[in-house]
């Protein structure tokens, strides 16, 4: 299966001042398969060393001598000799933490050798390290589940995948393509982007078989708890895990997770799951300027799960139920669409300095205002709403745009692309204030093209005559 990160690896390999690469991501998102596919497609001589299988290499890596390390690796079972076009892959590197600082010396003493490393629970080794990190001597690649376009490629829908990947702002969308993409999006909502689930669906077309894969992956995550939870209560950890999947997009109150456990205890459980990359926080930002992360309230947050397919599996949403939801309910149903958009936004921001997602929340005595996500793209603060229906249902977005004075907002829904000039009013204290801004409306399946679409949109005016008045 093709992954977009292959292009990243190709660019990395060609860099003149190439650094050893560390791939970070949750278990079973396809890190090892990506490296194997990259080596195969590029004709590289892959030296694949799974350090969980060879913990005795700890003393070898502790020498910090790349020549000695490679000499010992050549003696491992089935390992090819180091010759032309080699690629060293240190898989499950967290099992031998001594290998992490050794990456510095591969960079300094053996720069001609491309080195890639990965680990499913790497975050714990990096956070608890008692060694000198190779700061400035390594590069990171953050990897998540397969995107919707990758899913389309895997199931043989190459033309639709190419349409998404090549879509430009202002391009027309044929009605038949739009309807077909929404149908396949429903399938993606169930299957999700975990490579094993996608592969099984591509081979069998069976949602029942996909459910079996989901259950296996979920069991694997649960079995990981003892590896990083230590002496913590595993039953409580399981409850927190299930809560996170079933409450995507909802402001977290610890009392809603458990009335019997202290907030500090539950907070630590959530932090451990976040380090395992099973969940991630979307933190409230006041959005007063860039970077958005400089203006956050860490105690106010909601959650995203790793993958929309796993989220639905844990929530008990089977294909029969999902297949019967109409398009508007599916898009505007809350958690499913928000999870889909959120995990794709994470993919867009994965290799940026400020990749943590934020949202905006204003809690009042009589009414609250909330914008699903607020991100920074093309030097702009962009509020992102996931909605169905008329713009009149977006009072929170109007409020945000009026208070923050931003020029462009994004709406994802089930409709064809459009571009509006919004003229409306908001109440600010005892006064009525006029609000004018541009709304770029996109079908949800175009989310992974958002950066390029926004860049082009900012260069052109909105469609003339597309104006929403205060009555809307």
Eight-class DSSP state of 131: S
CA angle, 146 then 149 then 153, to 5°: 90
Q: Which residue has the higher pLDDT, 200 or 121?
A: 200
Do 98 and 152 lie in one domain? The reply is no
On whether the CB atoms of residues 148 and 344 are closer than 8 A, the answer is: yes
Do 223 and 205 lie in one domain? The reply is yes
CA neighbor of 423 nearest in space, from 370, 471, 369, 459 = 471
Write the CB contacts of 454 (distance below 8 Å, at least 6 apart in sequence).
377, 378, 380, 382, 408, 410, 440
Query: What radius of gyration, in Å, describes the C-alpha atoms of the chain?
Result: 24
Instruction: Give residue-wise pLDDT tens across range 351-383.
Output: 888 999 999 999 887 678 999 999 999 999 999
Q: What are phi and psi of 445, to 5 degrees?
A: -70, -10
Number of domains in the chain: 2
How many Å apart are CA 297 and CA 293, to the nearest integer? 9
How many Å apart are CA 422 and CA 446, to the nearest integer? 22
Do 130 and 162 lie in one domain? The reply is no
Residue 331 predicted with pLDDT over 70: no
CA neighbor of 83 nearest in space, from 61, 112, 42 = 112
In a domain, 346, yes or no: no
In a domain, 352, yes or no: no
Do 238 and 129 lie in one domain? The reply is no
Task: State the DSSP string of 187-206.
Answer: HHHHH-S-HHHHHHHHHH--
Q: Which two tokens stand for residue 110?
A: 């053996």
Residue 399 predicted with pLDDT over 90: yes
In a domain, 229, yes or no: yes
User: What end-to-end distance do the CA atoms of the chain give, in Å?
Assistant: 45
Please enumerate, as own/partner, the contacts of 425-428 that have beta carbons within 8 Å and a separation of 24 or more: 425/470, 426/395, 426/398, 426/399, 426/402, 428/402, 428/403
| Token pair 């104006």: residue | 467
CA neighbor of 28 nearest in space, from 304, 307, 235, 273 = 307
Do 160 and 252 lie in one domain? The reply is yes
pTM confidence score:
0.93
Residue 172 predicted with pLDDT over 50: yes
Do 101 and 74 lie in one domain? The reply is yes
What is the residue range of 187's domain?
A: 148-285+305-324
Do 138 and 152 lie in one domain? The reply is no
How many Å apart are CA 379 and CA 406, to the nearest integer? 12
Bridge-based pairing of strands 86-91 and 45-50 is parallel
In a domain, 389, yes or no: no
CATH number at residue 78: 3.40.50.300
Distance (Å) of CA 359 to CA 258, 298, 374, 453? 25, 12, 5, 21
Please enumerate, as own/partner, the contacts of 366-370 that have beta carbons within 8 Å and a separation of 24 or more: 368/396, 369/395, 369/396, 369/399, 369/400, 370/396
Name the 3-class secondary structure at 169: coil
Mean predicted confidence (pLDDT) in 291-310: 97
Distance of CA 186 to the CA centre of its chain: 19
In a domain, 105, yes or no: yes
On whether the CB atoms of residues 382 and 407 are closer than 8 A, the answer is: no
Q: Give the residue from 142, 174, 204 where a domain finishes.
A: 142
Do 127 and 249 lie in one domain? The reply is no
Instruction: Give residue-wise pLDDT tens across range 127-152.
Output: 876 777 888 999 999 999 999 999 99
Do 206 and 315 lie in one domain? The reply is yes
Q: Give the residue from 142, 177, 198 where a domain finishes.
A: 142
Do 102 and 14 lie in one domain? The reply is yes
Residue 305 predicted with pLDDT over 90: yes
What does the pLDDT read at residue 34? 98
Instruction: Give residue-wise pLDDT tens across range 200-217.
Output: 999 999 999 999 999 999
Do 92 and 10 lie in one domain? The reply is yes
The 3 state secondary structure assigned to 384-431 is EEECCCCHHHCHHHHHHHHHHCCCEEEEEECCCCEEEEEEEEEEECCE
In a domain, 366, yes or no: no
In a domain, 290, yes or no: no
Q: Give the residue from 273, 293, 324 where a domain finishes.
A: 324
pLDDT confidence band for 332 (50 / 70 / 90): very low
How many Å apart are CA 284 and CA 252, to the nearest integer? 11
Distance of CA 245 to the CA centre of its chain: 15
In a domain, 400, yes or no: no
Do 121 and 189 lie in one domain? The reply is no
């Amino acid at each position: 299966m093709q992954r977009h990160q292959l292009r990243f690896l190709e660019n990395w390999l060609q860099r003149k001042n190439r650094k050893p690469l560390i791939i970070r991501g949750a278990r079973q998102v396809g890190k090892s398969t990506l490296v194997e596919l990259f080596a195969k497609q590029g004709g590289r001589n892959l030296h694949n060393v799974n350090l969980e299988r060879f913990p005795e290499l700890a003393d070898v890596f502790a020498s910090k001598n790349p020549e000695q390390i490679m000499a010992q690796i050549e003696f491992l079972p089935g390992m090819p000799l180091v010759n032309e076009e080699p690629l060293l892959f240190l898989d499950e590197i967290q099992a031998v933490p001594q290998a992490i600082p050794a990456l510095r010396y591969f960079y300094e003493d053996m720069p001609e050798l491309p080195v890639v490393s990965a680990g499913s629970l790497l975050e714990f080794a990096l956070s608890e390290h008692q060694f000198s990190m190779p700061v400035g001597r390594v590069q990171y690649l953050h990897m998540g589940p397969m995107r919707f376009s990758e899913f389309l490629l895997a199931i043989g829908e190459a033309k639709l995948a190419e349409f998404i990947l090549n879509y430009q702002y202002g391009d027309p969308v044929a009605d038949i393509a739009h309807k077909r993409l929404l149908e396949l999006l429903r399938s993606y909502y169930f299957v999700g982007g975990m490579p094993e689930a996608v592969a099984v669906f591509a081979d069998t077309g069976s949602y029942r078989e996909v459910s079996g894969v989901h259950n296996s992956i979920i069991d694997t995550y649960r079995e990981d708890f003892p590896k990083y939870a230590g002496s913590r209560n595993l039953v409580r950890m399981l409850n927190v895990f299930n809560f996170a999947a079933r409450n995507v997009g909802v402001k977290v109150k610890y009392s809603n997770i458990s009335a019997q456990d202290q907030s500090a205890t539950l907070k630590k459980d959530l932090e451990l799951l976040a380090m395992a990359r099973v969940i991630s926080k979307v933190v409230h930002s006041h959005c007063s300027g860039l970077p958005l992360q400089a203006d956050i309230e860490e105690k106010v947050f909601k959650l995203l799960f790793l993958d929309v397919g796993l989220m639905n599996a844990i929530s008990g949403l089977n294909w029969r139920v999902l297949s019967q939801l109409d398009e508007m309910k599916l898009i505007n149903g809350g958690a499913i669409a928000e999870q889909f958009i959120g995990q794709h936004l994470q993919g867009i921001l994965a290799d940026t300095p400020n990749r943590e997602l934020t949202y905006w929340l204003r809690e009042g005595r009589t009414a609250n205002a909330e914008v699903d996500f607020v991100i920074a793209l093309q030097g702009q603060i962009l509020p992102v709403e996931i909605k169905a229906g008329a713009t009149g249902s977006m009072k929170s977005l109007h409020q945000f745009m009026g208070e923050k004075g931003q020029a462009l907002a994004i709406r994802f829904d089930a409709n064809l692309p459009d571009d509006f000039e919004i003229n409306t009013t908001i109440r600010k204290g005892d006064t009525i204030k006029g609000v004018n801004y541009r709304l770029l409306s996109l079908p949800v399946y175009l989310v992974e093209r958002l950066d390029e679409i926004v860049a082009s949109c900012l260069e052109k005016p909105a469609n003339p005559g597309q104006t929403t008045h205060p009555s809307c």
